[in-house]
Amino acid sequence: MTDASLMNPMFPGILGETIHETEEMQMITFKGAPLTLRGTPLKAGDPMPPFTLTDASLAEVRDTDLTGVRVFLTVPSLDTGVCDQEVRRFNEKAAELPGVTIVAVSLDLPFAQSRWCGGSGVEAVRTLSDYKDRSFGLATGTFIEELALLARAVFIVDRDGKVVYAEVVPEVADHPDYEAVFAKLRELV
């Protein structure tokens, strides 16, 4: 695959680079249309890779800043119906998961994430943005090439930094397997 086949005029610095040998191309769909995921797909047993995100105050949050059992939800945008429902559901479940940090990651600007949380009453899920360099999306294999958004996925990371659950939802408009996620979390708390 050549550099030219990966060019996106909106993000030439992100999508114009050469695919590394470790990167595997995965496909998902959005309303049936095929889409390409960029980055290295995570699977159970992998160490959580390094990343840098941005919080509501525009401060950087690195992978090393988050410890303990963590749930990472990647969503295309908090302002869409399925994403809204998903994050609200995890927010409601958070009280049953002591010691678990739940993080929703999207490419929404931090200001939009804060506005959404305030308007939605979401307080138990931390929102972080991958808008600056897409490091989380590329590190987890959830960056959608054609849309420059993140795919819907759930990753559970244990106290030792190992991924113990990984689900990339094959159809962006579908929900993750909540029962499987919550069952795995009950094993860890």
Active site residue 117: no
Band of residue 123 on the pLDDT scale cut at 50, 70, 90: confident
Q: What is the DSSP string of 5-36?
A: GG--TT-HHHHSSPPPTT---EEEEETTEEEE
Residue % of the chain over a pLDDT of 90: 76
CB 70 within 8 A of CB 125: no
Band of residue 24 on the pLDDT scale cut at 50, 70, 90: low
**14, 15, 69, 83: which is the annotated catalytic residue?**
83
What pLDDT digit, counting tens, does each position of 126-151 carry? 999 999 999 999 999 999 999 999 99
What pLDDT digit, counting tens, does each position of 47-70 carry? 999 999 999 999 999 999 999 999
Query: Distance from first CA to last CA of the chain, Å, rounded?
Result: 44
Q: How many other β-carbons are positioned within 10 Å of the β-carbon of residue 136? A: 28
